[in-house]
Amino acid sequence: MTRRTIVTTLAAAAAASAQRPARKVWKPKLGILARLTEGNLQFAKEEGFTSLQLAVDKNLDPDMTDEQLEQAKALILSSGLYVSSLGSTQNHIVANLEQRAGVNATFAKVIALAGRLGVPYVATASGTLPEKPLADQVSEIVRVYTEKYFPACQKYNVKILWEPWAGGPNIATGPVGFEALFKAFGDAAPVGLQYDPSHLVWQMMDPIQCARDFVDKIYDVHLKDTEILWPVLRRVGIRPLNSARWWRFRLPGFGQVDWKAFFTVLMDAGYAGAMNIEHEDELYYPPYSGAEFTEQFKAGYRLAHRFLRQLVPA
């Protein structure tokens, strides 16, 4: 090989490298779900977490006074943690219209609460009318959100996110529901996904391909695993006559989710939002003593944190 050939080859490689877009360093926020208390936030901070999803409950009430709101803001600010979302699951299109009016009014307050706290997302289920065809349910969801929620979303700069929980009042449980809803709402609507791969696993869906297909709609992430109890499943099937339990939620790393593949999807997309551990692993229950984490629940969070730090940069 001549000197000219070497120089030409190096120049060509340098030119190709210059044309290739620089890949950003993948550094999402890693956190937990919690009730708003000084002790819970202190635990999250001490363990090295950087984000939170907060539950809407008596500690974080949409009807809280201005003074209580300022106290909540001060507590969050002093923790140094980023709050990515508030969690409030409702059936937004419940058939009983009087009940629906109450749900809609309360959820609009939750959106306002998020905005006043500087929280960008409210996590929920889509709502459902199980007796109606899918198209009719989608149409009603679009109508109700547009009339009851989007004015508050626009005022407070908040998006509504759906978690694919098939056990709740929800049609946003996987690709079919996602596709129907996003097509009906259009790209400009303030809606998206709080993606949780565990829910697709127990529905026997592919959480990795689904994440690829809808990654541009993923604004927040839950980190939770699902363990399939194969000896039970092979005996009783997915609809057991004796109500045998053939799956259970676990901490990340203790179930069937391919976390390397899932995080690769997020890395390729440049996802830089929050990824909060949703701890529903009953082997580390009970979760709370009053509103504070129990020690065994904290141990579960620590175990999940150690596993995830092998895959997620600090």
Residues 6+ apart with CB under 8 A from 216: 269
Tokens 């993606």 found at: 195
Residue % of the chain over a pLDDT of 70: 93
Domain boundaries, the chain: 27-308
Residue that has been written with the tokens 């002790």 in this structure: 39
Whole-number pLDDT of residue 269 = 96
Q: Is the pLDDT of residue 70 over 90?
A: yes
Does 5 have pLDDT greater than 70? Answer: no
Q: What is the 3-state secondary structure (H, E, C) of 161-198?
A: EECCCCCCCCCCCCHHHHHHHHHHHCCCCCEEEEECHH
- The DSSP output letter for 47 is T
Multiple choice CATH, 27-308, 3.20.20.150, 3.40.50.460, 3.40.605.10, 3.40.980.10: 3.20.20.150
Average pLDDT, the chain: 94
Give whole-number Cα distances, 86 to 54, 74, 117, 154, 276, in Å: 5, 17, 10, 17, 12
Nearest one of 294, 269, 254, 158 to 208, comparing CA atoms: 269
Q: Which residues contact 85 (CB under 8 A, 6 or more apart)?
A: 53, 54, 114, 119, 120, 121, 122, 123, 161, 194, 220, 274, 276
The predicted structure's pLDDT at residue 25: 80
Digit-coded pLDDT (tens) for 235-294: 999 999 999 999 999 999 999 999 999 999 999 999 999 999 999 999 999 999 999 999
Strand partners, 250: 225
> For residues 106 and 110, what is the distance between their CA atoms, to the nearest angstrom?
6
Count of all residues that appear for the chain in the document: 314
Cβ-based neighbour number of residue 154 at 10 Å: 11
Strand 225-228 and strand 247-250: the pairing is antiparallel
pLDDT at 314: 79
How open is the CA angle 65-68-70, to the nearest 5 degrees?
110
> Looking at residues 164-191, what average pLDDT do you find?
98
Distances (CA, A) of 46 to 77, 260, 294, 306, 308: 15, 26, 16, 14, 17
State what percent of residues in the chain have pLDDT above 90.
91
Higher pLDDT, 11 or 149: 149
Distances (CA, A) of 144 to 64, 98, 217, 271: 25, 14, 21, 30
pLDDT the model gives residue 91: 98
Residue at token pair 């997309």: 269
| pLDDT single digits (tens) 35-49 | 999 999 999 999 999
